[in-house]
Amino acid sequence: MKKISLILMAILAFSCEEKKEEKPSLTANIANVEDGTEVYLASLGENGRPVPEDTVEVKEGKFTIDLPETKLQTLNVLTFENLRSNVLFINENKALTATLHKDSLRSSKIEGGKHNQLFSDYVEHLQKQSKKIQALREQYQDPTMLQDPAIRNEIQAKQEKINAEDEKFRKELIKENPNSIVSILILSDMMKMKMVPTNEMQDLYTSLSTEIQNTIPGESVKEFLEKAGKTAIGSKAPNFSAPTPEGDMLSLKDAMGKITIIDFWASWCKPCRIENPNVVRLYNKYHDRGLNIIGVSLDKPNQKDKWLKAIEDDKLTWQHVSNLQFWRGPIVQQYNVSSIPATFILDENGVIIAKDLRGNGLEEKLAELLPEE
C-alpha cells in the first residue's frame, strides 16, 4: 500500500508540475488580408470609448494577440488597418479562437468561454429578429394595404408578437446569467430602446451580481436608472425654464393645466411631424376641458428658423420652449430623453401619470382623464 501511495503521489506531483495555466489570448484566421496589416486591440471604457491595449500584424492570414488578465469579464474590440468594421468579443481570461471574415467582420464568430458563446447567441437572436421585421415589412409593402384598418391591426398584432418574443428572450437570458457581462449589455440595449418600464428595468438590474453591476456598462445602467427614477410614472415632474420662440423664459409650472403634456420633438424628426396632426386634433378637442401642452424642441443650434417654421406649418398653437442645443439641451438631459417623439403626461399637481403615448393610446388616455361633463 505504501508503494502504491508513493507512486500516486509521484504521478500527482508530476501532473501539477506539467499543468500550465491557460493564458488569455485570441488566435484568429482571416483570409484575403495582406501580410503586415495591423490589428488593434482595445477594451471599451466609459461611454464606450476604446482604450488601446495592443497591436499585432497579420502574417499568412493569421494573428495571435495576448489579452490583459482580468478579474471578471471585459468587452473588447478588434479593429483592422484599412478595414471599416470591427469585431466585438469578451475577454474572460480564456484562450479564444476566431475565424474572421474580411468583408463581414461583425458576422465573425469568437469561440472559447461561455460568455462569448452567450454573446454570440444574443447577436444571433438580434439577426433573427431583424429578418422577422424585414419579412413583415415586405409582406405589407403595398401602401394601399395600409389604408385598410383591419390590415393595420393585423400588422400591429404581428409586430407586437415579434416584440413580445424578443422581450421574453432578453429577460430570460438576463435572469439565467446574473454573473455575465452579456446580461448588462442586453439590459443596456433594452434601456436605450425603452423596451420595459423603469421599475422592471430596476428589477432586472437588481437581479444581477454585484460584480456585474459594478462594471463600466453596469455603472452606466445604474446612472440611467437613477435619472429615470426622477421622471418615472408616479414621480413629480422636475420643473424647468427655457426660452420661448419670442425669447421670453417660460417655466413648466407656468404652463400647467388640469392635464399637461410635455412633448419632446424637433423640426427634423419625421416621426414627430407625422404625429403632430394627431396631437393638434387632440389639443383642439381637449384644451377647453383643461389640457395644456408645452412643446420642448430638440432643434439644433443656429436653426431657430426651422423650429419656428415647423410650429407654423404644423399649426402647433400651444406653448413652446427650446434651448436649441439638440440632444445636449438641459431639459432633454433632465428628463433623460433618448429618443423622440417622447411625451410625459402630468396631472394638475405635476405628477407624471403616463409616458410616451401616441395615436389611439394618447386619445384613450385623454378621454379617461378629461371626460365630457
27 three-class SS: strand
The pLDDT assigned to 347 comes to 97
Same domain membership, residue 270 and residue 319? yes
**All 3 cell numbers of residue 137?**
415589412
**6 domain residue, yes or no:** no
Same domain membership, residue 130 and residue 92? no
Same domain membership, residue 126 and residue 226? yes
Q: What are 345's strand-pairing partners?
A: 261, 354
Q: Of the candidates 98, 119, 117, 105, which has an alpha carbon nearest to the alpha carbon of residue 26?
A: 98
The pLDDT assigned to 71 comes to 85
Same domain membership, residue 74 and residue 134? no
Of 173, 204, 230, the one marking the end of a domain is 230
Q: Read off the pLDDT band of 22 (50, 70, 90).
A: low
pLDDT, tens digit (0-9, with 9 covering 90-100), for 308-336: 999 999 999 999 999 999 999 999 999 98
For residue 15, is pLDDT > 60?
no
Mean pLDDT, rounded, for 87-97: 93
Same domain membership, residue 121 and residue 99? no
**4 domain residue, yes or no:** no
d(CA 78, CA 83): 11
The domain that holds 308 is classified in CATH as 3.40.30.10
Q: At what angle do helices 181-193 and 198-206 cross, to 10 degrees?
A: 170
The pLDDT assigned to 107 comes to 81
Percent of the chain with pLDDT over 70: 94
The pLDDT assigned to 199 comes to 85
**1 domain residue, yes or no:** no
The pLDDT assigned to 143 comes to 76
pLDDT, tens digit (0-9, with 9 covering 90-100), for 52-77: 999 999 999 999 999 999 888 999 99
Q: What is the DSSP letter of 92?
A: -
Of 106, 129, 149, the one marking the end of a domain is 106
Three-state SS annotation for 149-203: HHHHHHHHHHHHHHHHHHHHHHHHHHHHCCCCHHHHHHHHHHHHHCCCCHHHHHH
The pLDDT assigned to 13 comes to 42
Residue-range definition of the domain harbouring residue 166: 116-230
d(CA 350, CA 260): 8
Are 250 and 322 within 8 A, CB to CB?
no
The two beta strands, 62-66 and 95-100, are unpaired
Residue 321: Cβ within 10 Å count: 23
Same domain membership, residue 210 and residue 159? yes
d(CA 337, CA 257): 22
Mean pLDDT, rounded, for 337-355: 94
Q: From residue 157, how far is each of 151, 152, 154, 162, 371 by CA, in Å?
A: 10, 9, 5, 9, 29
The pLDDT assigned to 125 comes to 95
For residue 20, is pLDDT > 80?
no
Write out the DSSP string of 247-314: S-EEETTTS--SEEEEEEE-TT-HHHHHHHHHHHHHHHHHGGGTEEEEEEE-PPTT-HHHHHHHHHHT
What is the chain's mean pLDDT, rounded? 90
Same domain membership, residue 328 and residue 223? no
**50 domain residue, yes or no:** yes
The pLDDT assigned to 198 comes to 84
pTM across the whole model: 0.69
For residue 1, is pLDDT > 60?
no
Q: Read off the pLDDT band of 24 (50, 70, 90).
A: very high
Answer with the residue of higher pLDDT: 49 or 292: 292
Question: What is the dihedral sign for C-alpha 133, 138, 144, 149?
Answer: negative
Same domain membership, residue 76 and residue 188? no
The domain that holds 64 is classified in CATH as 2.60.40.10
Q: What are 28's strand-pairing partners?
A: 63, 98
For residue 174, is pLDDT > 90?
yes
Are 253 and 239 within 8 A, CB to CB?
yes
Same domain membership, residue 149 and residue 74? no
367 three-class SS: helix
The pLDDT assigned to 373 comes to 73
Q: What is the DSSP letter of 236?
A: B
To 10 degrees, the CA torsion angle through 359, 362, 365, 369?
-130
Q: Which residue has the cell 494577440?
A: 65
The pLDDT assigned to 12 comes to 41
**202 domain residue, yes or no:** yes
Same domain membership, residue 245 and residue 185? no
The pLDDT assigned to 173 comes to 96
Q: From residue 71, how far is each of 24, 91, 362 by CA, in Å?
A: 12, 10, 48
Same domain membership, residue 129 and residue 102? no
Look at the chain and report how many structural domains it folds into.
3
Least confident of 20-24, 107-111, 213-217, 293-297: 20-24
The pLDDT assigned to 21 comes to 53
The pLDDT assigned to 9 comes to 43
Q: Which residue has the cell 371626460?
A: 371
The pLDDT assigned to 120 comes to 92
Of 106, 132, 164, the one marking the end of a domain is 106
Q: How many CA atoms lie within 13 A of 290 on its CB side?
A: 15
Are 264 and 340 within 8 A, CB to CB?
yes
pLDDT, tens digit (0-9, with 9 covering 90-100), for 298-310: 999 999 999 999 9
Mean pLDDT, rounded, for 256-283: 96
Same domain membership, residue 87 and residue 120? no
**11 domain residue, yes or no:** no
Q: At what angle do helices 149-176 and 198-206 cross, to 10 degrees?
A: 20
Answer with the residue of higher pLDDT: 47 or 62: 62
d(CA 322, CA 249): 10
Peptide bond preceding 341 in cis form (omega within 30 of 0):
yes
Q: Of the candidates 231, 218, 225, 310, which has an alpha carbon nearest to the alpha carbon of residue 265?
A: 310
**56 domain residue, yes or no:** yes
Q: Read off the pLDDT band of 196 (50, 70, 90).
A: confident
Q: Read off the pLDDT band of 153 (50, 70, 90).
A: confident
**15 domain residue, yes or no:** no
